[in-house]
Structure 1
Amino acid sequence: MPQRPVVVMKFGGTSVATVDGRNAIARRVTAALELGRAPVVVVSAMGRKGAPYATDTLLGLVEGLPGDDRERDLLASTGELISAVLIAHELRSTGIDAHAHTGAEAGIGTDGEYGCATVTDIYPEPMLAAIERGEVPVVAGFQGMAPDGTLTTLGRGGSDTTACALGVALSAETVEIYTDVDGIMSADPRTCDAADVLDVIRADELFQMARHGSRVVHTPAAELALGSGLAVRVRNTFSEHPGTLVADIGSYQPKALATAVSSVSGIARVRVALCAAEGTTEHMLAQARVYRAMADAGISLDMFTPTTDTLVFTVADNDLTPACGVLAGLSLTCEVLTGLAKVTLVGAGMHGVPGVMARLAEYLSAAAVNVLQTADSHTTISVLVPGEQAEAAVNAMHSGFGLSVRA
């Protein structure tokens, strides 16, 4: 391993897109070098939809035209490649020996699933050799190499995963994820004016936030942080705010019951008639057939609840038509309710504490929110609500549990 501590620095598209942003990146990298660290830079595509090199803009060039997933991944990956070359040039202009690398050149191996590949292997030798030569690698995020040698992309937000995967492989001292906000917020500030920047969050809480709708960090990246004990900090490229530290489960115990509220819209509830008595073998087999058929079709189910003679679950709106097709193939009928949202209270501090659900129900009732269904785990409580009531639910939960007042 390198003699200097490695810091992986990931910069998002809004940081790369402007001259001011690129200058800020150069200052951040220079500061890391002056502190005796070995920076490895990971970059996203420039800007958001509508910007010339944003991923959505690039994919829009071939929308509706014949092609295949391999070619779409090739096209989608070019935004990050442009960013990597641009930032390498920017850094060299300040005297830093920086060089751009593709995901494959950085040693990132994937399972070969086009459009949403999983990182399966990291071969650290290329990056370690670059660091030993005194170089600053600038890696194109969001991409890796499949077993057959083809390029695959890691799904939206995949540059976070690139950074965390490299951080694990290089035994990095820290991974710093730079964005255009001051850190991880206690709720989405677009729907909750009282949302605050969290000073610290546990890795399992971050993972649950990502799973339940927060877009600050890519879900597989949060999973890597959770599974590896990797030190991660989310910061603002343009501010000296210290940001949010993602703490290992064993090193931090939250003082408050709850930490954050996440929400995701575009949810549909499906109620399936099973025509078998609850508790019987036939009832269990009917459930199993539904679960297996949905899994085989690549459809993710959530908030599933078996009742006396039905099975209730939720799916994303874009999975609703295929899910109904799967049920029809099993000769099962269903009722569908669309236009819903899932709002989730996240907090490691509420595990095993009685009365949390009662308080949640009281806050939502006072806000006239109609709760259609609930689900919970050790660190989350989720409620299914009409989409138009999601904002009210977020604010009621955020206010009720005092999330705008951090200890």
Structure 2
Amino acid sequence: MKIAIQKFGGTSVANTTNRTKVVDKIIKQCESGYSVVVVVSAIGRKGDPYATDTLLNLVDKEGMNPRELDLLMSCGEIISGVVLSNVLKDKGYDSTVLTGYQAGIITDNKYGDADVLRVNPDKVLKDLKLGKIVIVTGFQGATSDGEITTLGRGGSDTTAVLLGEALNCEYVEIYTDVDGIMTADPRVVPDARLLEIMSYSEVYQLAEDGAKIIHPRAVEIAERSHIKLIIRNTLNDGKGTLIKDKDCSNTYKKKDRIINAITYKKNRTQVIIVDKERGNSTEKLMDMITRENISIDLINFFSDKKVFTIDKKDIKTMEKILKKEECDYNIVKDCCKLSIIGNRMQGIPGVMSRIVKALSKEDIQILQTSDSHATIWCLIKDKDLEKAVNSLHHEFNLSKKPV
């Protein structure tokens, strides 16, 4: 039995017109000889009647028990699944709707951001063998004793790939409201180009550093099981972006470009701490930051100072810690982290030099840098974001398709 997994996001199922396009894509897979599993998100986005955020606005989130909150949040996907099943019925196709729990997704009891412990796809397989299209509510599962849980941000992507893994699918299609993964945010770079193929590691870094096309956790699961991912637009028939192992891709030859994409994360704040023979107090300081659940990034520790970034929302808490420890510090607000991503940059000389020159031409100050084998990060001021991304996009010829 050939099984296809198709995941449709909130905008894909938001209205009658879009749901008709969704059903057309499901039917096309059926007619191609596939048994189809469909994963759905809640209908629409914030403000739409059945979107998850809209449901949450019905209650006092701060005062609610996390268990009941997850029950409420699970409703949006159930509504979406039943509505889509009804459209399929009108087209003459038999389908069944399963909650995450009924589909065999078992989690721990960390309500709101549960970790999946195992997936038992027996019920899904049984319904597929009966010739049904199986619609699974994304973003949710349940504990082993049946308590409903949700999987956190990007949970529907995670659901789709976990089912793909459990059902031994060759690929998972992620349908959304964009054509695929672009070389940069098209709202910032008008001539950004669609990327036809990317590696897991590149897409993971893009997702981790600001691009909201797919959740990084879903990419990790796909990579461990070598499941190909395809990001496509619900509203057209474009090929989208194929995501797979870099070693099996013919686009990673020597003649291809070393940079594939640029993304960014706003609302970053730089923290600079000047050391004054503080002995072992650095360890104490880091422990305090950890206890306050502050995530730090772009970490550069030197003998005379320590530099890192935090999210804008953590500024007040960080300053309380630094004052309590009598640190000599400086806070640089309104920063943005640029991520320049490409699997081929490792061992290639001159990449950083080109970045510095491109930004210098635009009089953009680089506040901090860091790098890994496939990414270079630069911290700049928010006000320079648009100039910086366009400058780097031009420097590395990302608008032109590689030859």
Identify unmatched segments of 5+ residues in structure 2. none
Tell me the residue number matched to 2:112: 115
**Residue 393 (structure 1) shift:** 1.2
Deviation at 1:148, TM superposition (A): 5.3
Closer/same/farther in 2, CA of residues 265 and 20 from structure 1, 3 Å limit: same
Decide whether aligned partners of structure 1 residues 338 and 237 sit closer, same or farther in structure 2, where only a CA change above 3 A counts: same
Instruction: Give 1:65 shift.
Output: 6.0
Is the partner of 1:222 in helix, strand or coil? helix
- Partner AA of 2:51 in structure 1: A
The residue aligned with 1:267 is 268
The 5 Å alignment of 1:4-153 reads 4-63=1-60, 66-147=63-144, 149-153=146-150
**Whole-Å separation in 2 of the counterparts to 1:185 and 1:48:** 22
- TM-score scaled by length of structure 2: 0.93
Any conservation in 2 of the 1:300–1:315 contact (CA below 8 Å)? Answer: yes
Structure 1 residue identity aligned to 2:122: E
CA contact (8 A) 2:40 2:138 kept: yes
Q: CA deviation at 1:63?
A: 4.3
Alpha-carbon shift at residue 80 of structure 1 (Å): 1.1
Distance of 2:118 and 2:319 partners within structure 1: 36
1:339 alignment counterpart: 334
How far, CA to CA, are the matches of 1:120 and 1:296 in structure 2? 26
Tell me if structure 1 keeps the 8 A contact 2:61–2:69: no
Find the residue that maps to 1:84 and give its secondary structure: helix
Q: What residue in structure 2 maps to residue 353 of structure 1? A: 348
Letter in 2 for 1:301: I
User: Which residue of structure 2 lines up, in the alignment, with residue 163 of structure 1?
Assistant: 160
- Please tell me whether the aligned partners of residues 342 and 385 of structure 1 are also in contact (alpha carbons under 8 angstroms): yes
Whole-Å Cα distance in 1 between the matches of residues 36 and 284 of structure 2? 50
Query: Hey, what does 2:359 align to over in structure 1?
Result: 364
Asked if the contact 1:267/1:341 (under 8 Å) is kept, the reply is: yes
Q: State the SS of the aligned residue for 2:21.
A: helix
Q: Distance in 2 between matches of 1:260 and 1:173?
A: 26
2:325, 2:221 → 1: CA distance? 37
What's 2:277 paired with?
A: 276
Aligned positions of 1:119-268 closer than 5 A: 119-147=116-144, 149-252=146-249, 254=252, 255-268=256-269
- What does the per-residue CA deviation read over 1:226-263, in whole Å, with 9 as the maximum and x for residues that have no partner? 33211110011111111100021321252210110011
SS of 1:269's equivalent in the other structure is strand
TM superposition shift of 1:327: 4.5
The answer to whether the Cα contact below 8 Å between 1:203 and 1:222 also exists between their aligned partners in 2 is yes
Deviation at residue 67 of structure 1 after TM alignment: 1.4
For residues 123-172 of structure 1, give each alpha carbon's deviation from its aligned partner in whole angstroms, at most 9, with x where no partner exists: 22221222122221111111122355322222222211111111111111
RMSD over equivalenced CA pairs, Å: 1.9
2:383 to 375, 382, 388: 388
Where 1:7 maps in the other structure, the secondary structure is: strand
Q: Once structures 1 and 2 are overlaid, which stretch shifts more, 152-161 or 236-245? A: 152-161
Residues 67, 32 of structure 1: alpha-carbon distance in 2 compared, 3 angstrom cutoff = same
Query: CA, structure 1 residues 21+362, in 2 after alignment: closer, same or farther (shift >3 Å)?
Result: same
| 1:266-305 correspondence runs (5 A) | 266-276=267-277, 282=279, 285-305=280-300
What's the secondary structure of 1:196's corresponding residue? coil
Deviation >4 Å, runs of 4+: 325-333
Alpha-carbon distance in 2 for matches of 1:328, 1:113:
34
Matched residues in 2 for 1:286 and 1:249: separation? 44
How far residue 213 of structure 1 moved from its aligned partner, in angstroms, is 0.5
Identity of aligned residues (%): 39
Cα offset for 1:293?
A: 3.6
Structure 2 CA distance for partners of 1:111 and 1:365, relative to 1, 3 Å: farther
Q: Is the 8 A contact 1:14 1:47 kept in 2?
A: yes
In 2, Cα distance between equivalents of 1:223 and 1:290: 32
The answer to whether 1:321 aligns with 2:316 is yes
The question of whether the paired residues in 2 share the 8 Å contact of 1:46 and 1:80 is answered with yes
Per-residue displacement from partner, 1:347-369 (whole Å, max 9, x unpaired)?
00111101000001111111221
Q: Measure, in 1, the Cα distance between the counterparts of 2:118 and 2:321.
A: 34
Distance 1:331 1:144 in 2: 46
Return 245-254 or 13-22, whichever deviates more. 245-254
Quote how far apart the aligned CAs of 1:400 are. 0.8
Change in Cα spacing, 1:130 to 1:319, as seen in structure 2 (3 Å) is farther
Q: Deviations over 1:19-60 (max 9, x none)?
A: 111111111111111111111100111111111111221212
Task: Decide whether aligned partners of structure 1 residues 288 and 358 sit closer, same or farther in structure 2, where only a CA change above 3 A counts.
Answer: same
Distance (whole Å) between structure 2 residues aligned to residue 13 and residue 345 of structure 1: 29
- Letter of the structure 1 residue corresponding to residue 34 of structure 2: R
* Higher mean displacement: 346-355 or 250-259: 250-259
The residue identity in structure 2 corresponding to 1:78 is: C
**Deviates further, 57-66 or 302-311:** 57-66
Cα 1:333–1:52, aligned 2, differ >3 Å: closer, same or farther?
farther
Size of the alignment, in residue pairs?
A: 398
Distance 1:163 1:330, change over 3 A: farther
Alpha-carbon spacing, 1:242–1:297, altered in 2? closer, same or farther (3 Å): same
Quick one: structure 1 residues 325 and 152, their matched pair in 2 at CA, closer, same or farther if it must change by over 3 Å?
farther
Q: Which stretch of structure 1 is more off in the superposition, 218-227 or 26-35?
A: 218-227
Question: 8 Å contact 1:112–1:147 — kept in the other structure?
Answer: no
Partner of 1:85: helix, strand, or coil? helix
